[in-house]
Structure 1
Amino acid sequence: MSARPVARGLHHIGIPVSELERTTAWYRSVLSARRLAEFGHVTQDGQLFAVIPDVPGADVPVELRLDPATAGRRAGFDPPTLTVTDRAEPDGWIRHHDTPDVPPHTGHRRPGRPSPGGSRPRRCPASAPHRRAPRTGHRTP
């Protein structure tokens, strides 16, 4: 029997989306992400089908891949979760989301509070919702 290989980390996280440009714009306006054009994925006939946004603070690169059918089937699954430093930080995110620079959305309940685990959904218009979870307290396996 051979030894089991050791994982060295995650290379990237792929997120299926129904609208690539709209989702990329959402990542830019909400998360200050910058699209890394040199890593755009194109078909043989030149159609863009995936982008890699540089998300400040993300430990693992994100790939936004155009796949409307898969994006639709993800409804009800846990979304990607962003780390926050404490239970007060989501209020800053809510204020940011309520500025004119951020596209309208569905997802967080106003004037609700974070869930018992400390996360609050933030729905990207063309992909699965995202959550922010405190670094302390709630942990997922």
Structure 2
Amino acid sequence: MSFFNNEHLGKLILRLALGITLLLHGIAKIGAPDVLESIGEHLEHLSLPAPLAFGVFAGELMAPLMILAGWRCRVGGALAAVNMVFAIALMRMSAIWSLGDTGGWHLETEVLMLGASLALMFCGSGRMAIRPD
């Protein structure tokens, strides 16, 4: 197998990039005590139950840890994908048709994380994982 034909290394790189990025978002929310209340209020404003705000922890703490370790990576990818769909729908919908000054889509980070989450959900962790799937 050549170095440039290594799907398992590619999956590891994808897992590290997504897992670290999501985990840092989750860690930042732990340190900010009003974040869950703010998200809960936003959910209530949209006629959704405020306790759904705890799903942020599943999507930004549990899912990236599962993804990084490669343990139940498909489940972690699914959790992260649901988290990103909610993040886009609830918090970033106003930016869906807008571009930045340099032409970049305002949702590019969220869409890239959603795409990476879906890719891991369908492809699994690869061999370089605690429990390859």
Q: Same fold (TM over 0.5)?
A: no
User: When you count strand as a share of all residues, which structure comes out higher?
Assistant: 1
How does the TM-score come out when normalised to structure 2?
A: 0.29
User: When you count helix as a share of all residues, which structure comes out higher?
Assistant: 2
How does the TM-score come out when normalised to structure 1?
A: 0.28
**Higher relative contact order, chain-length normalized (CA < 8 Å, sep 6+):** 2
